[in-house]
Amino acid sequence: MVGGVDLAAHSSLLPAVQARALHALSPDGPARIPIHSLVQGGGHGAGAFGNQPRVAAPLDVRDPRLRAQIDAARATVRRLMRLPHLESAHYYLGSYFTPGVGVHYIDWHLVGRRFDAAHPAMLLIDATPGHRVRLAGLSYWVRSHGPPAGFAGGADVWHQHRGLCFVDGLLARDAVPAAAACRGNWLNGRDLWMLHVWLVPGFENDAGTFAPYDRALCPARTGPETSWC
């Protein structure tokens, strides 16, 4: 449970207003993606949202613009951690657990909008086997022709994911090359850019505030290697 939210009991009834926002994002490019463009960056490993880059630069907290943005993001974290239900903040389950990243809750109204540190489009939830389920990080998903001007200072590492197929708001498959192969909402993703941010107490990331993965969300190294990160 996250503030009363049962991750195992996802409702397929995505609110109509959220479903319309997702649908509005769907026609964002050609109906087919060349296979070579499906992988973006030198990912550490593929997860529910595809491959991601390896490194994040350190923050220069002397920059007052960056400090103000980080403060705004932290204020959002504090507000969200007090809520009894994530849905009360208009975030709904968008994907199941990805090692190193967690479970994604998405507010489809915020996806594709201009970067705003106080309004992440997604929340990253720790649902690692054996862990207490709770908020772990924030994620921004911005529409731009290139990496967006996000947090000041250039330390943020944006990445892309192509060919995502959502059914009732929940990610069913990724790397889907054509809209015709998705029975729900297909996102080309060619102009959507994503950033993970680790500011939640207990999930400060030694790899960097903007690192693509947080090892605190990695399962123990047992079983198939694909479950590691």
**Burial 195-208, CB ≥16 within 10 A → b, else e:** bbbbbbeebebebb
Task: Give, for 165, the enclosing helix (H) or strand (E).
Answer: strand 164-167
Distance CA 27, CA 185 (A): 9
What is the rounded CA–CA span in Å between residue 211 and residue 195? Answer: 9
Residues facing residue 123 across a β-bridge: 105, 138
User: What is the three-class DSSP state of 33?
Assistant: coil
CA gap 81, 59 in Å, rounded: 24
Which positions ≥6 away from 22 have C-beta within 8 Å? 14, 108, 111, 166, 169, 185
pLDDT tens digit string along 21-80?
A: 999 998 666 677 765 444 443 333 334 444 444 455 567 768 899 999 999 999 999 999
- Per-residue tokens: 39: 């992988």
Q: Which residue has the tokens 């705004």?
A: 72
**Inter-residue contact 9 to 154 (CB < 8 Å):** no
**pLDDT per residue rounded down to tens, the chain (229 residues):** 454 445 544 445 789 999 999 999 986 666 777 654 444 433 333 344 444 444 555 677 688 999 999 999 999 999 999 888 889 999 999 999 999 999 999 999 999 999 999 999 999 999 988 888 899 999 999 999 999 999 998 899 899 999 999 999 999 999 999 999 999 999 999 999 999 999 999 998 988 999 999 999 988 776 666 556 6
Rounded CA-CA distance 162/93 in Å is 19
